[in-house]
Amino acid sequence: MKDQKFDRLLSEIRNEHVDDQVVSQAGERVWSSIAGSATAELNMHKLRSCEDFQTLIPAYFGGNLPEARRLLFEDHVHQCVACRHSVEQARKGELRPAWQPRMAPRGFPVRRWAMGAAAVIVVGVAALALLNGLFPGQHAIRGAVQNVDGSLYAVSDQQVRVIPAGYQIRNGDEIRTAKGSNAVLRLLDGSLVEMDERSDISVSREWRGTTIHLDGGHIIVQAAKQRTGRLYVATDDCLVSVKGTIFSVNHGTKGSRVAVIEGVVRVAYGERTTELRAGDEETSSSSVSKVPIQNEIAWSRNSAKYLALLGDFAVLQKQFEAIPGPGLRYSSDLLPYVPDHTVVYAAIPNLAATLGEASQLFQERLQQSPALHSWWREQQGGKTPKLDDVIDQLKTFSSYLGDEIVFAVAKDGPAYSAPVVLARVRQPGLETFLQSETRQLNTNRTQAALQVVRDPWAVSSSPGRPFLVYLNNDMLVASPDVAELQRAATRMQQSSASHFTETPLYQQVVRSYQQGAGWLFCADMEQIVAQNVHDGSNNQLPPGIGDVRYLMMERREVGGKTENRAALTFASERRGVASWLAAPASMGALEFISPDASMVTSVVIKSPRSIVEELFQTIGSSDSNFPRELSEFEAKTGVSVLDDITAPLGGEVTIAFDGPVLPTPRWKVAFEVYDPATLQSTIAKLVDSFNRETTQPDGSLQLTKQQIGSQTYFILRNQKQPNSEIDYTFVDSYLIAAPDIGTLSRAIQDRQAGYTLTHSPTFQALLPSDGYTNFSAIFYHNIGPVVGPLVEQIKAVGTLTPQQQQSIAALQANTAPGLIYVYGEPDRIVVASNTGFMGFDLGTLMTMGHGGPFLPQMFLGGAISHPGSTQ
């Protein structure tokens, strides 16, 4: 039962009128029942404590308790664990029953004082809950309607009524916008919720924070800084949580899409959780694709403001990318001192100078952009640390250290160790600085979070596991575990290399340094995956995944260009799921995509038939009913999945947004097809089968064809949605699908004229310099051309200020295209890109320090984020 329905039920019970005579008669019956009991005994023995109830146990077992007292006794025992335990002892015939009366001890009444303190705490918590409207049935006010454009409704089971601006929204009230309408709600914490047409929300408050329940529709949230808890947006398939940022949530029948305009947002879909930053998107289902973020916010009355902010961010991002990073490192003198059984190794460069220059660029942009300045002033309100303070902390700390900081996590047996942090110290004064940071971090904490130690062997484990930092000569060693700190200190003092230098992972790390290291992350996946299998947490790994050995992630700057590369290496030639990605090959389907495309994904897979055969085998091994259900489907449709659907298909798939973005984005899908005639026959059979099975005649599908010149186009429509269709045609060895014939016709003409994405200078400039002539997969994005039509639409209604026009023009000029590419090699998969800023995107910089001083966070983050932690 939803919270609002439960509240309405309680409200109905509370407001129900009961006749006075009925109440009087009920009271008389209750008093008669009590008066008929042994009132003398009731008066003689009042029940105030557990001891009072426990003295009734003999009478209860003897059946001598009056009915009223028996009911009181049973109700108390049902709720009280201690008294229930005493009853069980008495039932078993214990020699000294727990209910035996005891003499009250002389001296200080500790028990009574404790009970009194507990009562005060309970009253305080209850009062806090009451003030926040957390008790069931409370209809505390959660916000108000700030303004309405069109019609806004409050919906209940009994009625639907129009509500005006100023209407107070109570806990659980269901609010809905009508067609062609939108509204803005202001929550009590200052957050603004902008509702698109046909959006349905309610707001509730719990201990963890305020939750916006989005049952359907599209909202944009400007989340205020939360004093306590978080602000949540919940749909039936995802949960979004923030502390203060701007983002949109679009929820419909197919799933949800979350897009971030500013800040950092955490999104949970089932068991998967991810963090999104400005410009990022995530969807809850493969049926919901990502779209240019400008499309997501075009409906908003504040779209000009949001586009202006995105423009400022784009300028900053481009300037940040131009900052030269630290030089590459070709060896590491810290590598020999990591733990013996290290399975995770990470090394980051010293970024003090780089971040200092980034801070200066940001301050200059603040002075140039009123929109950015206004937004930043809101973000920096309150007591949260300022960006300048964070950068100063990091620059000061880094000035004491060498050119890299190393993090390592070991695994000895089934358990992972606490992380160990290593760094060279290049100038004195670090201990004084850390002592100052320690006092700041530990202020107002019951347990220390950071502790500088002079003698690791004189330190004992303490509650709270503070992060221990040990300095000796020119080395810094840190860990939250005393034993790990001692072992690392011993290796350092004896200048003896650990046994890690004898492992294959060490050889992988050394090879990365030899090629030049910037940011480096290495994990022994063979050990990590084996642990997951042995502990029973994931016994059924997909075929081929169990062969994985190493994950290597690297980021380096070469010749002024940034290269990001991740490689997943396998113990032998890829098999199972890992082999589905084909080796690099020509992608002919990209010839149907124009240079104006804003988003393109293209993949080359191995034989679709063999993939489906492996899937059927895997599913059949865990579901005995699957073969029968598959046979029933094939008999009902007259279609063989393997012979009629997968066999005609080749190995290329391309999906793109290519064409005008207004009024709706133009999409294209291209499949490689070896046997068009068989595939078309299969599509016709599936449509006929669907129409036979549908229970609603007006929901049937119509498959027609249209001849234009020498080209045959097929049109698939649903009678329920006559204005929406899927059109497709066969060209050479490809099936191309789009929302209309015009889009298909232009794609064919562009291909014939050579006006294609792969031949455009923009795409060519993004291609990497390596030994490959093709890719296994690519993801290309270029949202710059998308902004123009949206800006013109906003200009048409006259909502842009001159400064906003300038910021949006900056967005168009500085939104650079990007390319992520994938290579499927025999024993590994390589994913690479050539965009970004030293591992820090703008969202990272904007949120640095929000949880406290950055330096201690960096240490503590390492303590809580290592994989498989048992702490």
Nearest to 672 by CA among 614, 586, 751: 586
- In this structure, the chain runs to a length of 871
Nearest to 373 by CA among 305, 320, 322: 305
pLDDT at 576: 87
Pairing of strands 818-825, 828-833: antiparallel
Q: Is 242 helix (H, G, I), strand (E, B) or coil?
A: strand
Per DSSP, 501 falls in state G
CA distance 626 to 805: 58
Contact status, residue 788 vs residue 813, Cβ threshold 8 Å: no
The type of residue at 760 is: S
Nearest to 278 by CA among 847, 821, 839, 833: 847
Pairing of strands 548-558, 467-472: unpaired
CA distance 850 to 841: 16
pLDDT at 38: 43
Return the number of other C-beta atoms located less than 10 Å from residue 145's C-beta: 20
Q: Give counts: helices (H), strands (E), the chain.
A: 26, 36
Nearest to 393 by CA among 355, 444, 448, 442: 355
Residue 613 is encoded by which pair of tokens? 């055969």
SS3 per residue for 101-146 = CCCCCCCCCHHHHHHHHHHHHHHHHHHHHHHCCCCCCCCCEEEEEE
Nearest to 362 by CA among 397, 317, 310, 306: 317
Task: Mark 338-348 as b/e (b = at least 16 C-beta within 10 Å).
Answer: bbbbbbbbbbb
Task: Mark 752-782 as b/e (b = at least 16 C-beta within 10 Å).
Answer: eeeebbbebeebeebeeeeeeeebbbbbbbb
Return the number of other C-beta atoms located less than 10 Å from residue 127's C-beta: 10
The type of residue at 633 is: F
pLDDT at 224: 82
DSSP letters of 372-386? HHHHHHHHT-TTSPP
Q: To which residue do tokens 């004189």 refer?
A: 458
CA distance 302 to 103: 73
581 has which bridge partners? 605
Residue 199 is encoded by which pair of tokens? 């959006």
CA distances from 165 to 61, 126, 183, 224 (A): 65, 33, 9, 21
Residue 564 is encoded by which pair of tokens? 């990001």
221 has which bridge partners? 193, 247
Contact status, residue 193 vs residue 214, Cβ threshold 8 Å: no
Residue 829 is encoded by which pair of tokens? 């998969």
Q: What is the mean pLDDT of each run of 10 residues along the chain (871 residues)?
A: 52 54 56 46 51 81 74 67 76 52 42 44 43 48 87 79 88 85 88 91 78 91 77 88 84 89 84 82 84 77 72 68 73 90 88 66 70 64 54 73 88 82 87 77 60 84 74 86 88 84 91 88 82 49 81 80 86 89 93 91 92 88 88 92 92 88 77 94 92 77 92 89 86 93 93 93 87 91 70 62 66 73 93 60 39 38 36 33
Q: Is 790 exposed, middle or buried (0-12, 13-18, 19+ CB in 10 A)?
A: buried
CA distance 524 to 342: 8
Nearest to 152 by CA among 140, 141, 139, 161: 161
CA distances from 753 to 591, 602, 748 (A): 10, 21, 9
pLDDT at 280: 85
| pTM of the complete model | 0.57
CA distance 56 to 152: 61
Contact status, residue 332 vs residue 518, Cβ threshold 8 Å: no
CA distance 858 to 397: 11
Q: Is 246 helix (H, G, I), strand (E, B) or coil?
A: strand
pLDDT at 545: 80
Non-local (6+) Cβ contacts of 252 within 8 A are 216, 217, 288
CA distance 161 to 159: 6
CA distances from 765 to 800, 835, 838 (A): 34, 12, 20
First to last CA, the chain: 37
CA distance 604 to 654: 9
Residue 162 phi/psi, 5-degree rounding, is -75, 135
Radius of gyration of the chain from Cα atoms? 33
Q: At what angle do helices 352-368 and 303-321 cross, to 10 degrees?
A: 140
Contact status, residue 167 vs residue 154, Cβ threshold 8 Å: yes
Residue 459 is encoded by which pair of tokens? 């330190």
